[in-house]
Amino acid sequence: MAKTTTSSQAITYKQAGVDIDAGDAMVQLIKPMVQATHNPRVMDNFGGFAGLFRLDFGEKLFRKQYRDPVLAACTDGVGTKLKIAFLMDKLDTVGIDLVAMSVNDLVCGGAEPLFFLDYLATGKLDPRRMAEIVKGITDGCRQSNCALLGGETAEMPSFYKPKEFDLAGFAVGVVERARIVDGSTTEPGDIAIGLASDGLHSNGYGLARRVLLEMAGYKVTDCPAELGGSSIGEEMLRPTRIYVKAVLDVLQKYKVKRPVKAMAHITGGGLPGNLPRVLPEGLTVRVKEDAWPVPPIFSLIARKGPVDSIEMKRVFNMGVGYVMIVAPNFARSILASLHRDGQRAWIIGKVKKGGPELQWH
């Protein structure tokens, strides 16, 4: 005969580690932040099982009237930069990194980001801590003018430690087929413009943590003189710069001509691993090494490792987070546009025959 279980003996999902009420509380906390990223193309469906997004505006004043629209999509995470967020107990910036890693990739093809989705998995769902993370995501969405259309939060107590979590993000954008930037028109003599990074961004943290926190023995609260008053933790947690607005402003300035030939988001692999990806076979870029200032965090890592210059370039962005390959006659005007948008940018090299490896001088 089966044993009868009384209500006082019955186990609940909360006792197993998953708090449904906390999830509901989180939804209410993040709702106004999410809605602040919405524009008229988002259809009101908060709480539904899928977000709804119109490709075009309904209002004639804003209508884009796509002729041959192509959707672009990409996904990424933040990686072990999250470990620094755990150590600092500062969670409101890694969401910016999450958005940046996808939308910066998306705009390389000329696509305008439309909407973003996030996945957040944690050991224990603390609504206020989770809302801090989502605040960063919504900040990133506003910077890139895309809507946070939806997301998923998973409480997984047997999988993650109570105060740890992981993030994944997914971005979707649109570009007219005729205006796709794919590198195919690049030719010798074209100019490489580098846009400044804000430091490590979201790549190379395995090496950075090994050198700074383990080998050099720094604590995240330590402030080496090289960092000009910033702590190790503050410098390592500095958000990834989002280039979407500045790049789209350049692209939209030229309605007929196509002066922007190729673009690359400089992530893991640095300039040597990312710039050759967007160049036609038989071409390379001759990079002038002293064309831009290298942020001090990189010099600190190189010295404390020590890490040689080849490895540094192969792992880190070294101060250049994004590269545009442009026709030489337009280089100065494009630089001026980038500067007006608040981007530090420099001419860092020129396209030459050769490759696939970059040439340095």
203 contact partners, CB below 8 Å, separation of at least 6: 79, 267, 268, 315, 316, 317
290 contact partners, CB below 8 Å, separation of at least 6: none
Sign of the torsion angle spanned by Cα atoms 49, 51, 54, 60: positive
Total-model pTM: 0.92
**pLDDT at 242 (0 to 100):** 98
CA–CA gap between residue 157 and residue 153 (Å, rounded): 13
234 contact partners, CB below 8 Å, separation of at least 6: 88
| DSSP single-letter state for residue 37 | T
**pLDDT at 5 (0 to 100):** 55
252 contact partners, CB below 8 Å, separation of at least 6: none
CA–CA gap between residue 134 and residue 124 (Å, rounded): 16
**pLDDT at 54 (0 to 100):** 86
**pLDDT at 84 (0 to 100):** 97
**pLDDT at 62 (0 to 100):** 72
CA–CA gap between residue 285 and residue 272 (Å, rounded): 10
**pLDDT at 12 (0 to 100):** 64
Domains of the chain (ranges; CATH) run: 20-179 (3.30.1330.10), 191-360 (3.90.650.10)
Q: Under DSSP, is residue 33 helix (H, G, I), strand (E, B) or coil?
A: helix
**pLDDT at 44 (0 to 100):** 76
Given 3-state DSSP classes, what are the helix, strand and coil percentages for the chain, each rounded to the nearest 5?
35, 20, 45
Per the DSSP assignment, residues forming a β-bridge with 69 are: 176
Whether the ω angle into residue 306 lies within 30 degrees of 0, i.e. cis, is yes
The β-bridge relationship of strands 147-155 and 283-287 is: unpaired
Residue among 83, 256, 270 at smallest CA distance from 165: 83
- Reading the block at residue 281, the tokens are 């076979």
Q: Do 307 and 208 contact (CB within 8 A), yes or no?
A: no
pLDDT digit of tens for each residue in the chain (361 aa)? Answer: 555 555 567 876 676 666 777 777 777 878 888 888 888 888 876 667 888 988 888 777 677 888 999 999 999 999 999 999 999 999 999 999 999 999 999 999 999 999 999 999 999 889 899 999 999 999 999 999 999 999 999 999 889 998 899 999 999 999 999 999 999 999 999 999 999 999 999 999 999 999 999 999 999 999 999 999 999 999 999 999 999 999 999 999 998 899 999 999 999 999 999 999 999 999 999 999 999 999 999 999 999 999 999 999 999 999 999 999 999 999 999 999 999 999 999 999 999 999 889 999 8
Report how far apart the first and last C-alpha atoms of the chain are (Å, whole number): 84
**pLDDT at 343 (0 to 100):** 97
